[in-house]
A and B are shown apart, each in its own frame.
Chain A
Amino acid sequence: MKPLARRALRIAICAALTFHLAAITVSNLPANTPFGAAIYRPFAWYLTPTGLWQTWDMFTTIPHFLDLDGKLVTADENGVVSRRGPLLPGFARFARTVRVQGTFMRLAFSADSYTSYTRRYRAAICRALLTERHGAPTQVGFELIAKELRSLDDIRKDGRISQPKTYTFGPTPCTP
């Protein structure tokens, strides 16, 4: 390769790599800076398809729960209520894993950011219930059963880490 072409290639490679650093750095800037969301625009075409978007906001404040469990609450046409596992396929029991607990915390407390997932979860649950009940209409809701952490002062008084708290969502009708 000729020296000039070699030099041009070296400059191009360095420029591309610097762009990568700039892109991943800018993706971490908060949206409320004076630059606004416009600062992401020059890099979005690169970050989105490559999956390089990132935020490192894990545990930026304290966790709120000692435990999380979840149950589907179904009511048939006669009003008979039953509780069952919220995981598909097969209405499996709530799994206490980072992925499942993270999923339900996002669906419950950040629903606005995950509207498509909330809608698809409801649709999948209704589909499975209607199949199981041969098309008979039913209602479905969700209970997120939490053990909420108490304040340090309260824990020091009686040694109890948490108090029970249930978050209820729904019910929503499932019709064929």
Chain B
Amino acid sequence: MHPVARIQAFLRRTATAFGDWWLGPADPRAYACLRIGYAVAAFSVLVDFWPLRYTLLADTGMFGGADRDAPIVTLDVFRLSSSETAVSAVFVIAALAAVLLALGTLPRLTAFIVYVWVLSYSDTAQTALSGFDTILRCVGFVLVIGPQVPVWSVGPRWARGSSARPPSYGLRLVQWQLMLIYVCTVWLKAPDEFWRRGEAITYFMMSMFARHPSAAMAHHAILGALFTYATLVMEASIPFLLWMRKTRMFGVLIGVALHLGIGFGAKLALFTLAMMPLYLSFFETADFEWVASWWPRPVSLSEPPGT
């Protein structure tokens, strides 16, 4: 084959593979898992935020509501009204939307409502934001633009997602997002002297973020160093383990262990809840089948045992 023709063929193959990476078929259950997990996380964040909604968002609160003198840069419904009634109404609507999103009823509309709620409080109360808010914003955007599937949905057919064989792009965006979170956090942590010395988790477990701060960790330097280095190793390896089919379940396992550790050991359960759905975006048909194979099969009453 002529060298130019070979290069052309290679480029054509690469372009096709790139297109398939984005638009090839995905398992609709992965989208359903992502949608349900996101809705649960958003609802939990809302419940946590509820007691502070006037303090941080209303015109009777700490900042007098949204800053109406600032230029409009994003959708912020609290700019329209920051009265206590309006703020409560927005929260109730967002809560209802999160529940319907979990049920898969009008998924795009309800995802949009939840996303706008997150955008709005993020714009109004920037001082009060945390990592889980950023995850809700970024994944919420993907849910709005991504395929909506009818799998694991309730309600009339017209109100469910219509994409029975969805393309992969929504999952790819979330997969990349997860990879960025871990790669960036390791990049920023690794040069820090406390992370390098293996003391970061020891200090963390004595801080206001720990569920039960105790001086005991200070007396177990080796244990603290092990936790610190293990955290870095897990955060550095999880995205790569998840990308590869053979190591995916191992990646899920250590990711779940890491985030359950954070959820139970620290006052950051919302971060754990927000991160978990991102893992499900990596699931392919074979992974669902593998998980299903561990599930006990229902015993059929019409079938005698041993048939």
Assess the A124–B219 pair: CB atoms within 8 A.
no
Q: How far is the CA of A54 from the CA of B133 in the complex (A)?
A: 10
Q: How far is the CA of A155 from the CA of B205 in the complex (A)?
A: 13
Q: Considering the complex, which residues of chain B in the window 92-143 have a beta carbon less than 8 Å from any beta carbon of chain A?
A: 118-119, 122-123, 125-131, 134, 137-138, 141
Given A20-B173, A51-B74, decide whether A149 and B206 contact each other with a Cβ distance below 8 A.
Answer: yes
Q: Considering the complex, which residues of chain B in the window 26-79 have a beta carbon less than 8 Å from any beta carbon of chain A?
A: 48-49, 51-52, 54-56, 58, 60-64, 67, 70, 73-75
Given A89-B60, A103-B128, A124-B61, decide whether A54 and B176 contact each other with a Cβ distance below 8 A.
Answer: no
Assess the A14–B185 pair: CB atoms within 8 A.
no
Q: How far is the CB of A35 from chain B (nearest CB, A)?
A: 16
Contact segment of B2-10, B17-25, B286-294: B17-25
> Which of B118, B185, B192 has the most chain A CB atoms inside 10 A of its CB?
B185
Tell whether B227 is near chain A: CB-to-CB under 8 Å: no
Q: Which of B118, B134, B209 contacts A63 (CB 8 A)?
A: B209
Contact segment of B147-155, B196-204, B242-250: B196-204
Q: How far is the CA of A98 from the CA of B127 in the complex (A)?
A: 11
Q: Which of B64, B70, B141, B218 contacts A50 (CB 8 A)?
A: B141
- Kindly list the 7 A-B residue pairs having the minimum CB-CB distance in the complex, ordered from nearest: A63-B207, A62-B203, A56-B184, A99-B128, A89-B60, A60-B188, A155-B218
Q: How far is the CB of B261 from chain A (nearest CB, A)?
A: 13
Given A120-B64, A161-B215, decide whether A102 and B202 contact each other with a Cβ distance below 8 A.
Answer: no
Q: Which residues of B contact A116 (CB under 8 A)?
A: 67, 70
Q: Which of B49, B195, B213, B221 contacts A161 (CB 8 A)?
A: B213
Given A48-B73, A56-B184, A56-B185, decide whether A103 and B204 contact each other with a Cβ distance below 8 A.
Answer: no
A–B complex contacts, Cβ < 8 Å, 21 sampled:
A13-B22, A13-B23, A17-B172, A24-B177, A24-B180, A50-B74, A51-B137, A54-B138, A56-B131, A60-B192, A61-B194, A63-B208, A63-B209, A88-B62, A98-B130, A101-B208, A102-B130, A106-B127, A149-B206, A156-B218, A161-B214
Q: Which residues of A contact B279 (CB under 8 A)?
A: none
Q: Which residues of A contact B70 (CB under 8 A)?
A: 116
Q: How far is the CA of A50 from the CA of B144 in the complex (A)?
A: 11
A88-B62, A99-B56 given; name 7 further pairs at CB < 8 Å. A50-B74, A56-B131, A59-B189, A61-B194, A61-B195, A88-B55, A152-B218
Q: How far is the CB of A158 from chain B (nearest CB, A)?
A: 9
Q: Which residues of B contact A87 (CB under 8 A)?
A: 55, 62
Contact segment of A65-73, A133-141, A166-174: A65-73
Tell whether B283 is near chain A: CB-to-CB under 8 Å: no
Q: How far is the CA of A25 from the CA of B239 in the complex (A)?
A: 15
Assess the A52–B141 pair: CB atoms within 8 A.
yes
Assess the A49–B127 pair: CB atoms within 8 A.
no
Q: Considering the complex, which residues of chain A in the window 88-109 have a beta carbon less than 8 Å from any beta carbon of chain B?
A: 88-89, 92, 95-103, 106-107
Specify the chain B residue showing the minimal Cβ separation from A48.
Answer: B73
Q: Which of B18, B55, B118, B185 contacts A51 (CB 8 A)?
A: B118
Tell whether A28 is near chain B: CB-to-CB under 8 Å: yes
Q: How far is the CB of B187 from chain A (nearest CB, A)?
A: 8
Specify the chain B residue showing the minimal Cβ separation from A97.
Answer: B52
Assess the A66–B188 pair: CB atoms within 8 A.
no
Q: Which of B73, B207, B218 contacts A49 (CB 8 A)?
A: B73
Tell whether B181 is near chain A: CB-to-CB under 8 Å: yes
Tell whether B169 is near chain A: CB-to-CB under 8 Å: yes
Specify the chain A residue showing the minimal Cβ separation from B207.
Answer: A63
Tell whether B165 is near chain A: CB-to-CB under 8 Å: no
Q: Which residues of A contact B214 (CB under 8 A)?
A: 161
Q: Which of B52, B122, B125, B200 contacts A62 (CB 8 A)?
A: B200
